[in-house]
Structure 1
Amino acid sequence: MSGRVTLVGGGPGREDLLTVAAVRALAGAEVVLYDRLAPHEHLAELAPRAELVDVGKRPGHHAIPQHEIERLLVEHALAGRRVVRLKGGDPYVLGRGGEELAACRAAGIPVDVVPGVTSAVAVPGAAGIPLTHRGISCMFTVVSGHAPLSDAELGHLAGLGGTIVVLMGMTTLPATAAGLVRAGMAAGTPVAIVERGFQAGQRTTVAELGDVVARAAAVRAASPAIIVIGEVVRLAAGGDGAAREVMQRAAGLGASP
């Protein structure tokens, strides 16, 4: 008799941001395949009866390739085990949850999905950056920075407006910043790099699009990090005059003298 697989979104990395459904799935698991950005420090307590398998990928180093992760999911489930695939963020937001779902379904294995808090929204929020704000941004776009964006994609982003959130984008930041300016986005557009969201040492670096690469190099910004591009970044300035001016404009009160 075959088991089943549950794809669990672990949120942005802090255990208290796991959903109730995620905690229940882990408590009943017999095997847990977990990522490095998923909350795993106390995984043995959350999944006390489970075999724990680290399948985490690191930038430039995939110790266990994706096809092998899918094979392990299928193998354990066909052996009758309850398998949890614990992923960072949400399983379907720039993760490979869809591929894992397809692999399990192709093998006839039932799959449940537990959504997770995506870092695309949660980490900017932790840094005080609302992705939308009345009068400033009525939309946000989440893009992968794993590979450089094409000129067409950069053109669409520059023309769309709103807020841009880039995941896995530190390596390609030079190409992204230069490409957006080339596509017509103002070089003075504010950018925030939020490193290690919800972890010890969380840090936010704010710069303008035209000089963000130099600023990132100067402070040695590194992954894991979320990059936020847009006027909402000014709202994280905590009492700074520019932030007050933007908020007053949004409220229709006019700029402060």
Structure 2
Amino acid sequence: MKNNVKDKVVIITGASSGIGEATAQLLIKNGAKVVLGARREDRLKELVKKFGGNSAYVVTDVRNVKDVEKLIQVAKDHFGKVDVLFANAGIMPASNMSELKIEEWNDMVDINIKGVLNSLAAVLPEFAAQKSGHVITTSSIAGLKVFPGNSVYTGTKHAVRAIMDGFRMESAMEGTNIRTTTLYPGAIATELLDTISTPEVKSGMEQFYQIAITPDAVAQTILFAISQPDSVGITEMTILPTKQA
């Protein structure tokens, strides 16, 4: 089934580390061509040098739809098409609501929700025209249940779940043949905790994340979803450490 990955062109946001980086590496290993989007150009340059000719990059801030549109154009210019969008960019500056960290709330809404919407807006005309495509998004286990000390992040990830489920149904009704996959990772060893500015909350999260598994576990689920025949949609996957309750 992995032959269905070969020569597919995949765009990944949040690609400079963690789940995005691991996914890019695994997909390229299985014959895909990947365009990486993230804000850190130095890291993107390193990864493209490492991955070779089946990769390209665009410095991308998903809060700006023009940046994501450029990702689509670079994919077409370099590889002739777009088959998959993996909207993976996200941040988690956890805090209690009573701390009133309004700027952090807005950043989460802008990146975690609007970033997904901007990515969809950039790629949907392409997918609708070709009557095929696959949109993958990173929600979170926090998109399925609520965690105190992380209320706004939880809200953004519930929003991703709702948006994707509604989009999936609309695509089926419109006959565009666009597949969707929403991921619900638990404790994954990424840079996500680095965005937490409240010391006691960060300390608690670091303690919890001692059970974390590697981003490769999530990358394997993405490979599985893309690998399916075009008539099969793997719409949702939850990926947790075995030890996570």
Which protein is bigger by CA-based radius of gyration?
1
Taking structure 1 as the reference length, what is the TM-score of the superposition? 0.35
**Structure richer in helix, relative to its length:** 2
TM-score w.r.t. length of structure 2: 0.37
